[in-house]
């Protein structure tokens, strides 16, 4: 176990709805990254938060937004859900240690959009 937790484990939504996913980082880690992993694909970077500020964003539309709280936990919000948003959403926490910092992944939230 990495110490990174995510909730909920599974979620079913319908098109057009909004969803909030949550992540608690490993103790002491101030950086959280979010990834989307479609079935049979590798994770795709959504964005990263460092000390409550967005610190990099992948090729995802603005309806994907996030927050990081003072305790370094984080939320991923997705508005106007599309069928293609169905995926495993992973968060990973880390401590910035140059280019070789290790990311510790949570178990993920499986989102199904009907």
Binding site for other proteins (CB under 8 A): 2, 4, 31, 33, 40-45, 47-48, 50, 55-58, 88, 90, 92, 94, 99-108, 110
Nearer of residues 16 and 61 to other proteins, judged by Cβ: 61
Q: Residue 36 Cβ, how far from other proteins at the closest point, in Å?
A: 11
Nearer of residues 12 and 15 to other proteins, judged by Cβ: 12
- Are β-strands 64-68 and 19-24 bridged in parallel, bridged antiparallel, or unpaired? unpaired
Q: What angle do CA 102, 105, 108 make, to 5 degrees?
A: 165
Dig out the tokens for 45 from the structure: 């970077």
| N- to C-terminal Cα separation, the chain | 31
Nearer of residues 47 and 64 to other proteins, judged by Cβ: 47
Distance CA 14, CA 47 (A): 24
Q: Residue 16 Cβ, how far from other proteins at the closest point, in Å?
A: 27
């Amino acid at each position: 176990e990495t110490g990174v937790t995510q909730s909920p484990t599974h979620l079913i939504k319908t098109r057009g709805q909004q969803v909030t996913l949550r992540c608690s980082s490993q103790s002491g880690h101030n950086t959280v990254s979010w990834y989307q992993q479609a079935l049979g694909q590798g994770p795709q970077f959504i964005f990263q938060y460092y000390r409550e500020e967005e610190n990099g964003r992948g090729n995802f539309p603005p309806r994907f937004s996030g927050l990081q709280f003072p305790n370094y936990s984080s939320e991923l919000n997705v508005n106007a859900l599309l069928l293609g948003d169905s995926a495993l959403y992973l968060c990973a926490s880390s401590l910035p240690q140059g280019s070789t910092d290790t990311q510790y992944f949570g178990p993920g939230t499986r989102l199904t959009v009907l």
